[in-house]
Structure 1
Amino acid sequence: MGLRLLDGKVVLVNGGSQGVGAAIVRAAVREGATVDFTGRRAEVGEKLAADTGARFVRADLSDPGRARDSVAATVEAHGRVDCLVNAAGLTSRGSLLDTTPELFDQHIAINLKAPFFATRAAVADMVGRAAPGTIVNIGSNCAHGGPPHLAAYSVAKAGLAGLTRNAAHAHRFDRIRINTVNIGWTDTEGEDATQRAFHGAGDDWREQAAARLPMGRLGQPDEIADFVVFLLSDRSGVVTGSVIDWDQNVPGALD
């Protein structure tokens, strides 16, 4: 077997127990990394760990301290963290007029504060060792504005784009590369549950959604995972501070 993209790397995937995060865990293991991942649901996380050989650490990232501690746990177990993926996300619905302060705070906590403090801890480890590293945030095309029913989510994801550029600029001379992938509509377990809970969707919602999309299908977690692994790896060169739209619609373009 030839050299794999993440051979010898220690990777932490926060929010890695299901959906896009779980796909990233599988892809990183396949590409030779030692992988830790966090999630809230022990049963789901332990099954993925058994299937992949990655290490599961149960953590509720609505507490930013747990995001910071997840990095410390990886450093304690493996001596360092080379790559961090911030994949945890909350997509509970709420418009400008019906979002409560409590819901707003939940979105900020999981979609922005957790990545901020996990990134802070990972960068501190990398700088302390005078070692390069890579961080990839899972953003959303909602960072460009988003639909009315995702007001707080869109605000938080826009903040994540700002964090990406600020931190990448601050630590470019430390050889720490930080990028975000703004994903579009993706076929995950969480999206299925959301469509049924909030939009009254039936078993054929995927087919109905695909018929309205330019490429005729939803995005797939494995495709996103391959792209994220590329950004984590040395193969992506000097790319940093980029907020990349991984979507089939073009923000700002009009028919």
Structure 2
Amino acid sequence: MGLLDDRIVLVNGGSQGIGAAVARAAVREGAVVAVTGRRPAPGEALVAELAAAGSKAMFVRADLADAEQAKDSVAEVVRAYGRVDCLVNSAGLTSRGTLLNTTPELFDQHIAINLKAPFFAMQAAVADMVRREQPGTIVNIITSSAHGGQPFLAPYVAAKAGLIGLTRNAAHAHRWDRIRINGLNIGWTATEGEDATQRTFHGAGDDWRERAAARLPMGRLGRPDEIAGFVVLLLSDRSGVVTGSVIDWDQNVLGGLD
């Protein structure tokens, strides 16, 4: 028996990085998985990989900056499989901006991807669960930077801090519907997206991971597969009645000072 046997799991932003790791972990635990993304190539490649391993999976092309497409991603999975049991919001925009140089356009981009898309995907998924009078689970991938973060992450922090509040609000609102909603504040993780971010915004070279690891307590960055295992636990019955929790998945301790 897998932790997610016969569950229909939608991973928004699931074509690469943490989302793709969650998709792989979910199918290993018996789930049928749908992943969304803007670019068909990586999404379809992931689905082909999962299908080759004997798992049912589908790719939904969606630009999550558009709230209607975020909602429609849920509707498309419901049309294909009849329901959505679990939703993971893993898409994220991490482009840089400070309080002083962030433009309204950049701010709106962060709100659209990091807050608005999860809001309306959750709206559609919860509506499906309530309509069917069935329980469900949702996990939002957030960030430890939502506690304050670096100065160059101002719009990102603003949006992700909002997602923390949304996670708790929605969990409270739908606890009597037996819909459990939790979040993970993840720390520095080695993903394709982080590699691009370090090279684009910080001029990092090929050794940036090694340099970063030397500054971290555990001597390495987090791995997507580790986060994926935690997400699967929260999606499954193994996490019991836990809801409204936003867990710091990080190797630095909030409030700890040397």
Interval of TM-score (by shorter of Structure 1 and Structure 2) = over 0.9
Mapped pair 1:193 → 2:196:
yes
- Give, in whole Å, the separation in 2 of the partners of 1:172 and 1:229: 20
Aligned to 1:228: 231
1:207 pairs with one of 188, 202, 210: 210
What is the percent sequence identity of the aligned residues? Answer: 77
1:216 pairs with one of 219, 226, 229: 219
The residue type paired with residue 250 of structure 1 is V
Q: Secondary structure at the match of 1:177?
A: strand
Structure 1 residue 102 displacement after superposition: 0.3
Aligned to 1:140: 143
- Give, in whole Å, the separation in 2 of the partners of 1:156 and 1:25: 24
Structure 2 gap ranges (5+): 52-56
Aligned to 2:54: none
The residue type paired with residue 237 of structure 2 is D
2:242 pairs with one of 239, 242, 247: 239
The 5 Å alignment of 1:4-19 reads 4-19=2-17
The residue type paired with residue 131 of structure 1 is Q
Q: TM-score, normalised by structure 1?
A: 0.98
Aligned to 1:22: 20
Aligned to 2:161: 158
Structure 1 residue 180 displacement after superposition: 0.3
Structure 1 residue 142 displacement after superposition: 1.1
The residue type paired with residue 106 of structure 2 is L
The residue type paired with residue 121 of structure 1 is A
Aligned to 2:49: 51
Structure 1 gap ranges (5+): none
- Give, in whole Å, the separation in 2 of the partners of 1:41 and 1:70: 14
Q: Over the residues paired in the alignment, what is the CA RMSD in angstroms?
A: 0.5
The residue type paired with residue 50 of structure 1 is A
Mapped pair 1:63 → 2:61:
no
The residue type paired with residue 65 of structure 1 is E
The residue type paired with residue 101 of structure 1 is P
Per-residue CA deviations over 1:10-68 (Å, capped at 9, x if unaligned) read 00000000000000011111110010010111111110010012211111100011110
- Give, in whole Å, the separation in 2 of the partners of 1:143 and 1:190: 18
- Give, in whole Å, the separation in 1 of the partners of 2:44 and 2:77: 17
Q: TM-score, normalised by structure 2?
A: 0.97
